[in-house]
Structure 1
Amino acid sequence: MTGKAVDLVEIWRGGRLESLHRGHAVVMNGAGEVVESWGNPDHVTYPRSSAKIIQALPMVESGVADRMGLTPAHLALSCASHSGAAIHTDPVNRWLDDLELDDDAFRCGPQWPSDIPARDGLVKADATPCRYHNNCSGKHCGFLTMVKANGWGPEYVEADHPLQVQIKSTLEELCEDTSPGWGIDGCSAPNHAMTIRAMARAMASFAAADDSTARGGAMVRLREATMTHPALVANVDRACTHLMQAGKGTVSVKTGAEGFFIAIIPGKGLGVALKIMDGTTRASECAMAAILCRLGVLDANDPLVKQYRNPDLRNFAGLITGEMRPAAALA
């Protein structure tokens, strides 16, 4: 299917369709072939944080991760959009200490934690958030690791910085496409536009990778790190973590802002990328869960999966008021 965005997720209340989320999605294999698609595979958009595993790849492929003593937990954090919980900020601060740097070295801005205990702790202490609370601080630790290992300048989010030049080149090589332009991401780093098809191809490359090359070995390490430490990638109450836990080591997933989502399925050699056009996270989570069930990676009856693929919607009194479900094309 090609052309316009198609219906992917529906919201029902009282037996009536109340809301509808449209988008594009592509499943690719390691040979660069489209296995299945919805909407327009060639729609160009920003992958946002779904690109983090690609942004972390030069650090591992170049050998910097090994020279700097990084563990799989470090690699998972470098791919994370975390919630600012203690399980995230404590290792981020230890990583900073190992680099002999402090919060001022980050070029991402301060952000209130989405983790409620962490946020409430700051409020009770009459404190304000720091840069290390930013959901991208793990990625930025990876950036700073590259900066220190290579002796590069501190303004690492500038588009012409050697780090960002290398990331752009890596992205285009994996996508087998040229980015038509870039925008500034929420964490201040460049985010390069790509087609949905190109991002699915890149994720299929991660899925099909093996240890026969330096790049392949680095891709394996990153995908395995995310599946081994899913709570570091998101948080204990987040969709990325729950879907990876439900997959039991068979899938790595990563959300991105404004309704982008990717999946890497090593056992099947498949990559998935999708975009919800209204930018709604609930819809991107539902669509990804539905696609992974469709591909036989997840079980639709698993409670961890159902809360995203087909949840009951409740009001503040706890009454079931409706449901969210994949549209017919995905179901």
Structure 2
Amino acid sequence: MKYAALVEEVRGGIVENIHFGMICGVDDQYKTFYQVGDDEHYTYFRSASKPIQALPVFLTDIIGKYGLTEEEAALFTASHRGETYHIKALESMLRKLPVKEEELYCPPSYPLNIQPREEMIRKGIQKRKLYHNCSAKHMGFITVCREWGYPVEGYWKEDHPLQKQIIDILSNLSGVPISAIHIGIDGCGAPVFAIPLKRMSEVYLKLACPDLIQDPQLQLAVNKMTAIMNNQFNMIASHQFICSSLLEDRNIVAKGGAQGVYCFGLKNERVGFALKVLNGSEEVWPNIVASILEQISYSNHETIKRLRSLRPSVIRNDAGMEVGSIHEKFQSERLASK
């Protein structure tokens, strides 16, 4: 496994942390044009797979049939962070969809964001399955099962018809044979998939450029899904979080996953990227993605500015004093202009 230093954190003139990893960018000919480290490294998508796992919903008329708003529909692809606007939409989805909260396989949880989590704890509000960041994904799973006549029992198991369909969709988008897709169990209990980093880049290339998808129904579903992700960017994560900051740019389709995995595609440039931070850090995603966009001369400087504001290059202590700095250390081993 070949990897490189991606981000270095310095405090008082001494290197305190180094975040190692690998990055791959592919063009619309499926050629690697941007590479740091091993682009064939098998990597779990984690929650970066949520748009793929949501596609069965968008292959149906579930959104129209049950009168879901765009805000609600966006949550099928989301790792929601439990803000008030997320909970309001999730509660509404429970009322509209043929799903009961106790049917969700994901465990009871508190919100990911600190403020709503601490507020609930102060008020004595108990954990709920609805507050789990994967709850809407599971609502989508169950609704699709009822729509297509699949059994709801065991919908999260690898051999369930729904999960087999999702793996088939992933194989279609990535070009990886089903037999070569590694399957594990994600934090919410559903299957999670590992494929080579380059193939992950190709998936997000196709999410950004659906014309590359051969199946016309799948192409239509991707168009519908990504439009909603861009329209309702704060529903995908939350304000002041990288996924929402990137999706605010209508040229970008993006989603992160646990343990340092991040994927995004650029529509006009017709490229897809996937990266893995080997220590699992999510904090350095904005630094890495901003640097990639700068290195490929991305034209929307406002997007880069938003990313830089999420994770400035200056490290400050709790009193606001400048105590260190953050530096991106990587350059592509092969960089063609895009």
Q: TM-score, normalised by structure 2?
A: 0.90
**Which runs of structure 2 are paired with 1:1-331 in the superposition (5 Å)?**
4-154=2-152, 155-178=154-177, 179-210=180-211, 213-245=216-248, 247=249, 249-295=250-296, 296=298, 298-299=300-301, 303-308=305-310, 310-329=312-331
Query: What's the % identity of the aligned pairs?
Result: 28
1:327/1:237 CA distance change after superposition, 3 Å: same
1:230/1:164 CA distance change after superposition, 3 Å: same
**Cα offset for 1:220?**
1.5
- 1:171-196 CA distance string (max 9 Å, x none): 11111013442111011100011110
User: Partners in 1 of 2:301 and 2:14 — Cα distance?
Assistant: 27
**Cα offset for 1:37?**
1.1
Q: Which runs of 4+ in 1 moved over 6 A?
A: none
**Cα offset for 1:39?**
0.4
User: Partners in 1 of 2:85 and 2:307 — Cα distance?
Assistant: 23
Letter in 1 for 2:133: N
1:227/1:61 CA distance change after superposition, 3 Å: same
Query: Secondary structure at 1:242's aligned position in 2?
Result: helix
User: Partners in 2 of 1:289 and 1:171 — Cα distance?
Assistant: 27
Greater mean deviation of Cα atoms: 60-69 or 36-45: 60-69
Q: Does the Cα contact within 8 Å between 2:145 and 2:162 map onto a contact in 1? A: yes
Extract unaligned runs of 5+ from structure 1: none
- 1:236-269 CA distance string (max 9 Å, x none): 1212112333x3x121221100000011211111
- 1:2-57 CA distance string (max 9 Å, x none): x5111111112223322111111111122212121110000002110011111111
Letter in 1 for 2:79: S
Greater mean deviation of Cα atoms: 53-62 or 302-311: 302-311
User: Partner of 2:335 in structure 1?
Assistant: none
Greater mean deviation of Cα atoms: 300-309 or 287-296: 300-309
User: Partners in 2 of 1:313 and 1:27 — Cα distance?
Assistant: 29
**Cα offset for 1:209?**
1.1
**Cα offset for 1:310?**
4.2
Letter in 2 for 1:175: S
Greater mean deviation of Cα atoms: 34-43 or 72-81: 72-81
User: Partners in 2 of 1:16 and 1:124 — Cα distance?
Assistant: 40
1:90/1:62 CA distance change after superposition, 3 Å: same
1:83/1:227 CA distance change after superposition, 3 Å: same
- 1:259-302 CA distance string (max 9 Å, x none): 00011211111111110111111123321222123230542895
User: Partners in 1 of 2:133 and 2:303 — Cα distance?
Assistant: 31
Q: Does the Cα contact within 8 Å between 2:283 and 2:311 map onto a contact in 1? A: no
Q: Does the Cα contact within 8 Å between 1:204 and 1:272 map onto a contact in 2? A: yes
User: Partners in 2 of 1:169 and 1:259 — Cα distance?
Assistant: 25
Q: Does the Cα contact within 8 Å between 1:72 and 1:221 map onto a contact in 2? A: no
Q: Does the Cα contact within 8 Å between 1:30 and 1:207 map onto a contact in 2? A: no
Extract unaligned runs of 5+ from structure 2: 333-338
Question: How many pairs align?
Answer: 327
Letter in 2 for 1:255: G
Greater mean deviation of Cα atoms: 199-208 or 303-312: 303-312
Root mean square deviation of aligned Cα: 2.2
User: Partners in 2 of 1:288 and 1:269 — Cα distance?
Assistant: 16
User: Partners in 2 of 1:274 and 1:121 — Cα distance?
Assistant: 34
Q: TM-score, normalised by structure 1?
A: 0.91
User: Partners in 1 of 2:48 and 2:299 — Cα distance?
Assistant: 19
Query: Secondary structure at 2:9's aligned position in 1?
Result: strand
User: Partners in 2 of 1:119 and 1:187 — Cα distance?
Assistant: 18
**Cα offset for 1:305?**
1.8
Letter in 1 for 2:314: D
Letter in 2 for 1:170: I
**Cα offset for 1:88?**
1.0
